[in-house]
Amino acid sequence: MAIDTGYVVDTANARIYSDMDTGVWIGPVGTALPSTLGPPGAGFVAAGWLGEDGIDLAIEKDVSDFNALQGGSLIRRKVTKVTQKFTFVCLEETALVLGLVYADQTITVTGTGVAAVASHSISADQAKTVVRAIVVDAIDGDVNDRYALANADLTFTGSVNIANNELRAYTFEATILAGTDATHLTNSPGVTGTP
């Protein structure tokens, strides 16, 4: 005998977030976060083309179990550590991306036009991370799934490849810092309850 849960499955609620407007926008800490699903707003700069594996949100929790003497019974569980982080790969080599790769080292440009040369220190202190405001937009047709982070620790975690058989790619982790304004916005009909 089937149990009636009152819910009917709906394939329209199954999302594939990868439309052309999907992306990551980065701005200085203090940039006003969007409270709607419109453009991210002044101060945010697009990270550009992203790697085909997409944008991953990992929510990691360390949980401790507490057992009693009697029978070794589990009587409590406690979350002792929570980390929420986005991982994404930038495919464009821009001043924004290289500035993040080299932990905010100043980029100096001399010359103009085709004679312009940019330089920055890669031996300077790299034992630091970069903190930024970040907006992540995942788009599937008319559905926008947005994460707006006021204060994320943005760390380059990969290697810089030099090869003739692959695109140069820059892998970043954006970790949400505790006590920061971090909001998830969506107009997904399965969440809003509107057809």
- 98 belongs to a structural domain: yes
Q: Which of 11-15, 106-110, 140-144, 160-164 has the highest mean pLDDT?
A: 140-144
Q: Specify the higher pLDDT residue, 11 or 48.
A: 48
pLDDT at 5 exceeding the cut of 80: no
3-class secondary-structure state, position 11: helix
Domain count, the chain: 1
**pLDDT tens-digit map of 120-145:** 888 766 777 899 999 999 999 999 99
Identity of the residue numbered 126: Q
3-class secondary-structure state, position 80: strand
Residues 163/138, Cβ–Cβ less than 8 Å: no
89 CB contacts (<8 Å, ≥6 apart)? 50, 51, 53, 158, 169, 170, 171, 172
- 14 belongs to a structural domain: no
In sequence order, what E strands does the chain have?
A: 23-27, 45-46, 56-67, 74-90, 108-110, 117-119, 130-140, 143-156, 170-176, 182-186
- 1 belongs to a structural domain: no
pLDDT at 1 exceeding the cut of 60: no
- pLDDT confidence band for 147 (50 / 70 / 90): very high
Q: How far apart are CA 158 and CA 169, in angstroms?
A: 8
Strand pairing class (130-140; 117-119)? unpaired
The whole-number pLDDT of residue 72 equals 92
Q: What mean pLDDT do residues 154-172 have?
A: 90
The whole-number pLDDT of residue 54 equals 93
- 193 belongs to a structural domain: no
- 45 belongs to a structural domain: yes
- 149 belongs to a structural domain: yes
In percent, the amount of the chain with pLDDT more than 70 equals 95
pTM: 0.86
Tell me the two tokens of residue 61.
């929790």
**pLDDT tens-digit map of 65-82:** 999 999 999 999 999 999
3-class secondary-structure state, position 114: helix
Torsion of Cα atoms, 85 then 83 then 145 then 99, to 10°: -30
- Weakest-pLDDT range from 10-24, 31-45, 90-104, 124-138: 124-138
- 151 belongs to a structural domain: yes
* Residue numbers of the domain that contains 103: 20-66+74-188
- 104 belongs to a structural domain: yes
**pLDDT tens-digit map of 34-59:** 999 999 999 999 999 999 999 999 99
Residues 73/123, Cβ–Cβ less than 8 Å: no
